């Protein structure tokens, strides 16, 4: 079975999601489930990250709901493990979607 390794930097990002952004345990569990889905089918759920100095990096963009139904947007960078049987999650960036730090004025569309 393909496996997931979470790098220390990504672990810190997950902690920040809970501590600073208010992500609940349900959402963190959903993230781990999505990481496993990426490991199971990386070519279907990822695209090459456009990082010329790191050609083996992949990126995944997706939206998940927390326990209250609030939508969260995520961008994850990762790479295949050396044995090609899993993925290593390198970074996890997420925020409520639309991001409350970038909200359009009332009545204006969010772009």
Distance CA 87, CA 82 (A): 9
Q: Residue 27 maps to which CATH number? A: 3.30.2310.20
The answer to whether residue 58 is domain-embedded is yes
The answer to whether residue 88 is domain-embedded is yes
The answer to whether residue 8 is domain-embedded is yes
Contact 44, 34 (CB under 8 A): no
pLDDT digits (tens, 9 = 90+) for 89-108: 999 999 887 755 555 455 44
Tell me the pTM: 0.84
Contact 78, 57 (CB under 8 A): yes
What's the structural domain count of the chain? 1
The parent domain of residue 16 ranges over 3-98
**Gyration radius from the chain CA atoms:** 15
The answer to whether residue 108 is domain-embedded is no
The answer to whether residue 43 is domain-embedded is yes
In angstroms, the Cα distances linking 80 to 5, 57, 90 are 10, 8, 11
Contact 67, 27 (CB under 8 A): yes
Percentage, residues of the chain above pLDDT 90: 72
The answer to whether residue 103 is domain-embedded is no
């Amino acid at each position: 079975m393909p496996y997931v390794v979470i790098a220390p930097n990504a672990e810190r990002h997950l902690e920040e999601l809970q501590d600073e952004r208010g992500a609940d345990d349900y959402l963190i569990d959903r993230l781990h489930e999505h990481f496993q889905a990426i490991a199971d089918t990386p070519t279907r759920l990822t695209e090459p990250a456009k990082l010329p100095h790191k050609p083996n990096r992949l990126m995944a963009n997706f939206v998940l709901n927390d326990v209250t139904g609030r939508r969260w947007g995520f961008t994850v960078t990762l790479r295949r493990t050396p044995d090609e049987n899993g993925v290593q999650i390198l970074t996890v960036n997420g925020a409520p979607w639309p991001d409350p730090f970038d909200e359009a004025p009332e009545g204006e569309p969010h772009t």
